[in-house]
Protein backbone atom coordinates (compact mmCIF):
# COMPACT_ATOMS: atom_id res chain seq x y z
CA UNK A 1 0.00 0.00 0.00
CA UNK A 2 1.16 3.49 -0.80
CA UNK A 3 0.52 6.10 1.85
CA UNK A 4 -0.46 9.71 1.06
CA UNK A 5 -0.21 12.40 3.71
CA UNK A 6 -2.72 15.24 3.36
CA UNK A 7 -2.97 18.31 5.58
CA UNK A 8 -6.18 20.30 5.32
CA UNK A 9 -6.59 23.63 7.03
CA UNK A 10 -9.36 26.14 7.42
CA UNK A 11 -8.22 29.73 7.81
CA UNK A 12 -10.43 32.39 9.38
CA UNK A 13 -9.64 36.10 9.10
CA UNK A 14 -7.35 35.57 6.11
CA UNK A 15 -6.18 39.17 6.14
CA UNK A 16 -4.87 38.70 9.70
CA UNK A 17 -3.46 35.16 9.48
CA UNK A 18 -2.14 34.90 5.92
CA UNK A 19 1.33 36.25 6.70
CA UNK A 20 1.87 33.87 9.63
CA UNK A 21 0.58 30.88 7.66
CA UNK A 22 2.75 31.76 4.66
CA UNK A 23 5.85 31.96 6.89
CA UNK A 24 5.15 28.45 8.16
CA UNK A 25 4.56 27.20 4.61
CA UNK A 26 7.88 28.73 3.54
CA UNK A 27 9.81 27.25 6.47
CA UNK A 28 8.42 23.77 5.73
CA UNK A 29 8.22 24.24 1.96
CA UNK A 30 10.43 21.28 1.02
CA UNK A 31 7.81 18.96 2.53
CA UNK A 32 4.87 20.43 0.57
CA UNK A 33 4.46 18.50 -2.67
CA UNK A 34 1.11 19.96 -3.76
CA UNK A 35 -0.79 23.03 -2.53
CA UNK A 36 -4.37 24.02 -3.32
CA UNK A 37 -6.00 27.12 -1.84
CA UNK A 38 -9.73 27.78 -2.10
CA UNK A 39 -11.82 30.71 -0.91
CA UNK A 40 -15.22 32.07 -1.83
CA UNK A 41 -15.43 35.25 -3.78
CA UNK A 42 -13.39 37.01 -6.40
CA UNK A 43 -12.01 40.46 -7.03
CA UNK A 44 -13.70 42.94 -4.65
CA UNK A 45 -15.81 40.26 -2.97
CA UNK A 46 -13.23 38.02 -1.27
CA UNK A 47 -14.27 36.23 1.90
CA UNK A 48 -12.20 36.13 5.06
CA UNK A 49 -12.22 32.33 5.28
CA UNK A 50 -10.27 29.89 3.18
CA UNK A 51 -9.47 26.22 2.76
CA UNK A 52 -5.97 24.95 1.96
CA UNK A 53 -5.23 21.35 1.01
CA UNK A 54 -1.60 20.18 1.06
CA UNK A 55 -0.03 16.94 -0.08
CA UNK A 56 2.97 16.34 2.17
CA UNK A 57 6.15 14.30 1.90
CA UNK A 58 8.66 13.56 4.63
CA UNK A 59 8.91 11.93 8.01
CA UNK A 60 5.80 11.46 10.14
CA UNK A 61 7.13 13.42 13.10
CA UNK A 62 7.99 16.37 10.85
CA UNK A 63 4.47 16.42 9.37
CA UNK A 64 3.02 16.31 12.91
CA UNK A 65 5.22 19.27 13.95
CA UNK A 66 4.11 21.21 10.85
CA UNK A 67 0.44 20.65 11.77
CA UNK A 68 1.12 21.61 15.39
CA UNK A 69 2.72 24.90 14.32
CA UNK A 70 -0.22 25.73 12.05
CA UNK A 71 -2.68 25.08 14.88
CA UNK A 72 -0.81 27.57 17.07
CA UNK A 73 -1.90 30.38 14.73
CA UNK A 74 -5.09 31.99 16.02
CA UNK A 75 -7.88 31.40 13.50
CA UNK A 76 -6.30 28.34 11.87
CA UNK A 77 -7.51 24.78 12.25
CA UNK A 78 -5.28 22.13 10.63
CA UNK A 79 -5.80 18.37 10.43
CA UNK A 80 -3.66 15.59 9.08
CA UNK A 81 -5.22 12.87 6.95
CA UNK A 82 -3.45 9.68 5.96
CA UNK A 83 -4.78 7.86 2.91
CA UNK A 84 -3.56 4.41 1.93
CA UNK A 85 -3.84 3.59 -1.74
CA UNK A 86 -3.20 0.28 -3.51
Per domain, the residue ranges of the chain are 2-85
Q: Which is nearest to 68 in space by CA: 5, 3, 7, 6?
A: 7
2-85 belongs to CATH 3.40.50.300 = no
pLDDT tens for the chain, 86 residues: list them.
788 999 999 998 888 898 999 999 999 999 999 999 987 777 677 788 889 999 999 999 999 999 999 999 999 999 999 999 87
Q: Tell me how far apart the alpha carbons of residues 11 and 75 are, in angstroms, rounded to a whole number.
A: 6
Amino acid sequence: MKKREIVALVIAARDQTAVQVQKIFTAWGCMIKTRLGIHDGVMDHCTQTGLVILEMIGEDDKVEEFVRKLNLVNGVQAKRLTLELP
